[in-house]
Amino acid sequence: MKNIAIIGAGMTGLSLAYNLQENNITIFDKSWRPGGRVSTRKNENDLFDHGAHYLSTNHSVNQLNEVIIRYNLGQLIEIDFATDYLKNKKTRKKIIIGRNGMNFIPKSIFDNLKLRSYFNSKIIKISKNSNGIFSLFSEKEEFKNFDFVLICIPYLQSKELSKDLIDFTKIVSEPSYDPIHTVMLSYKDTNNINIRAGLNLHEDISFFMNQNIKFNELTNDCWVLNMSSEYTKNNIDIDKTTLEKYAQSIFEKTFDIKNKISFIKSHRWLYAQTKVSYNTISKKNWINSKDNKIFLSGDWVLGKSLSDAWNAGEKLSHYIKILSV
Ligand SMILES: Cc1cc2nc3c(=O)[nH]c(=O)nc-3n(C[C@H](O)[C@H](O)[C@H](O)COP(=O)(O)OP(=O)(O)OC[C@H]3O[C@@H](n4cnc5c(N)ncnc54)[C@H](O)[C@@H]3O)c2cc1C
């Protein structure tokens, strides 16, 4: 049994924790809750999945499906989906959603694993002692005695955290991300929009999804809009009110909405979705230190979805198992 520190309680970190649970695991996250970009946000009576929206039914990560079934985390639904709203292309689409919003998936995996955990703990430094054992540091605390450190956070942040312990000079080409501004909005009265979700609502809004199909208890008409990555890049520091008004005006114009809005808020995801994965560049499934004790993983290794994140963690766990016998 090894002492393993996992930094980041998103889907990648949780996949590693699930697959290495026979070890002594401690998981750290700078946020107050597990899930990372699989995020469900509450405002009074409104609920919004403003990170990952759904799990695709045609992903090939069998273990993630097994975990969802085993812990009863998800539901398969079929919705009217615009494959391209601007070109009026629509279909019936099957998707997997969390039983009570998307964050239900990572939160329940975390609860079932009963991990030793430190939330609100941003790890800012990792050091190695003369016996090859690691310590982690947050602003306030030192956490000692780890044989392995698995860093499961966005690439640039993991590089910054491990740059004194891993040689990055050989990594000539790096993975990259697209940023996304998301906008959450709700109306007291229903707008009777029959399409539930889709792509390309507008040249600046790449995705939209109704939230009432996810949460039975919602009484307001709740929606999430993803601004396109192009728009987000060009308006990365836009004033929030300006962004929200712009997104609202497009939404209301498109669906001819006359109802008064009751809530609107936006969020900027700087590292939203992988643009070029590490595996595409290098054919490798993780980045490691020379002594094979520190590893970097994340969705960025394989792709841009939460199944890629799970897969990246699962793949790395097989290697750690070999190393720790
Ligand atoms: C707007 C948006 C829409 C998306 N839509 C979909 C979708 O519909 N379907 C889909 O499959 N995927 C979607 N994705 C992508 C999916 O959410 C991600 O691929 C996946 O959640 C990434 O998981 P991860 O564990 O690799 O990273 P993250 O979820 O980013 O987890 C990293 C964790 O590390 C923590 N952390 C960071 N730095 C530190 C530190 N120094 N110390 C401690 N903790 C730290 C963070 O708080 C976070 O919890 C979407 C993402 C976004 C942003």
Tens of pLDDT along 258-309? 999 999 999 999 999 999 999 999 999 999 999 999 999 999 999 999 999 9
| Whole-number Å distance between alpha carbons of 247 and 251 | 6
Tens of pLDDT along 34-85? 999 999 999 998 999 999 999 999 999 999 999 999 999 999 999 999 999 9
Secondary structure class of 122 (helix, strand, coil):
coil
Residue 56 amino acid letter: S
| Residue 194 CA neighbour count, 13 Å, CB half | 3
DSSP string of 145-178, one letter each residue? EESEEEE-S-HHHHHHHHTTTS--TT--S--EEE
| Contact assessment for residue 57 and residue 96, using Cβ atoms and an 8 Å cutoff | yes
pLDDT at 288: 95
Q: What is the pTM of this model?
A: 0.97
pLDDT at 112: 97
Of the residues 124, 153, 274, 304, which should be mutated to test ligand 1's pocket, given the most ligand atoms within 8 Å of the CB?
153
| Contact assessment for residue 307 and residue 56, using Cβ atoms and an 8 Å cutoff | yes
Tens of pLDDT along 152-211? 999 999 999 999 999 999 887 899 999 999 999 999 999 999 899 999 999 999 999 999
* Closest Cα to atom 36 of ligand 1: 8
Query: How far apart are the CA of 152 and the centre of ligand 1, in A?
Result: 9
Which helix (H) or strand (E) covers residue 34, if one does? Answer: none
DSSP string of 293-309, one letter each residue? -EEE-SHHHH-SSHHHH
Is the pLDDT confidence value at 325 over 90?
A: no
pLDDT at 96: 97
> Please, what sign has the CA dihedral across residues 149, 150, 153, 158?
positive
Strand partners, 235: none
Ligand 1 atom, smallest distance to 274 CA: 19
| Whole-number Å distance between alpha carbons of 101 and 257 | 26
Ligand 1 atom, smallest distance to 29 CA: 44
The pLDDT-based confidence of 324 (bands split at 50, 70, 90) is confident
Secondary structure class of 325 (helix, strand, coil):
coil
| Contact assessment for residue 153 and residue 312, using Cβ atoms and an 8 Å cutoff | no
| Whole-number Å distance between alpha carbons of 190 and 186 | 9
Tens of pLDDT along 112-130? 999 999 999 999 999 999 9
Helix, strand, coil percentages (3-state) for the chain, rounded to 5, are 25, 35, 40
Query: How far apart are the CA of 262 and the centre of ligand 1, in A?
Result: 28
Query: How far apart are the CA of 154 and the centre of ligand 1, in A?
Result: 8
Domains and CATH numbers, the chain: 3-323 (3.50.50.60)
Tokens of 267: 């969020």
The pLDDT-based confidence of 138 (bands split at 50, 70, 90) is very high
| Average confidence (pLDDT) over 85-90 | 96
Pocket of ligand 1 (CB under 6 A): 7-13, 28-31, 36-38, 51-55, 122-123, 152-154, 157, 161, 180, 182, 226, 269, 272-273, 298-299, 304-307, 309
Block residue for tokens 């539901």? 75
pLDDT at 289: 95
Is the pLDDT confidence value at 141 over 90?
A: yes
Q: In what order do the strands lie in the sheet with 125-128?
A: 125-128, 134-137, 142-146
pLDDT at 172: 79
Tens of pLDDT along 205-251? 999 999 999 998 999 999 999 999 999 999 999 999 999 999 999 99
Q: In what order do the strands lie in the sheet with 287-288?
A: 116-118, 24-28, 3-7, 148-151, 294-296, 287-288
With helix as H, strand as E and coil as C, how does 180-227 read?
Answer: EEEEEEEECCCCCCCCCEEEEEECCEEEEEECCCCCCCCCCEEEEEEE
Query: How far apart are the CA of 131 and the centre of ligand 1, in A?
Result: 33
* Whole-angstrom Cα Rg for the chain: 21
